[in-house]
Amino acid sequence: MPYNSYPYELPPLPYPYNALEPYIDEETMLVHHDKLFAGFVTLLNGVLKPYPKLQKLSLEQLLVNPNILPKNSRLDITRYAGGVYNHILFFAKMAPPGENQHNIPTGKLMQNINKTFGSFDKFKALFSQNAAAVFGSGYTFLVKNRHGGLKIINTRNQETPLRLGYSPIIILDVWEHGYFLKYKERRDEYINNFWDIVVFDEN
């Protein structure tokens, strides 16, 4: 994962701020990326500043085993590292709708989705149901375990699947700041539109 070492930097968007319209508007992208995501980067660098040994670890290493972190800073480190990790994935796993050739999985990933969920449409419906069921702030992931098995999970706040031993494939941010400027209370519409801009890499 790029930008995965201290001092952390804000990764640039891989597309213009208005490139995901009409599904995600430019104002939301500016606030989400340049304000909120940037804020997590700043906070993570700040909380790690007194710990030279921790600065040598990757984001994944900080998140997989929180027991190695100092108790008095553990919660802040995992929150801020999770915020950076989740946002790197979220913005990287989307593409402009007119240019997106990867919003439908192919190859082994599609085979695995069909085997696990019955069909791609059934997977989309279940993923969307999980996202709509998030109470408060959090994320919905499609993840795979160490043996390649697939699962849909929700995480709260800035928690990640890493501590549970899962690797993320796609991620949907269902914090209100990700959609409220455009969609207001219509979170289901935001979730439904996600399928036009999500990117599935071959897994």
Q: Could you read off the pLDDT of 139-180 as tens digits, one per residue?
A: 999 999 999 999 999 999 999 999 999 999 999 999 999 999
Residue ranges in 30-177 assigned as alpha helix (H): 38-48, 52-55, 59-64, 74-92, 107-117, 120-133
For 26-92, which CATH superfamily applies?
A: Fe,Mn superoxide dismutase (SOD) domain (1.10.287.990)
pLDDT confidence band for 98 (50 / 70 / 90): confident
Looking at residue 149, what DSSP letter applies?
Answer: -
CATH 3.55.40.20 holds for 107-196:
yes
pLDDT above 70 for 1: no
Residue 97: left if φ>0, alpha if ψ -120 to 50, beta else—which one? Answer: alpha
Residues 35-92 pLDDT 10s = 999 999 999 999 999 999 999 999 999 999 899 999 999 999 999 999 999 999 999 9
Q: Measuring CA to CA, how many Å separate 139 from each of 65, 127, 134, 153, 170? A: 20, 11, 8, 8, 10
| pLDDT at residue 99, rounded to an integer | 85
Q: So where are the chain's domains?
A: 26-92, 107-196
Q: Phi and psi (nearest 5°) for 13?
A: -60, 140
- Specify the amino acid at residue 5: S
- Reported as a pLDDT band with limits 50, 70 and 90, residue 187 is very high
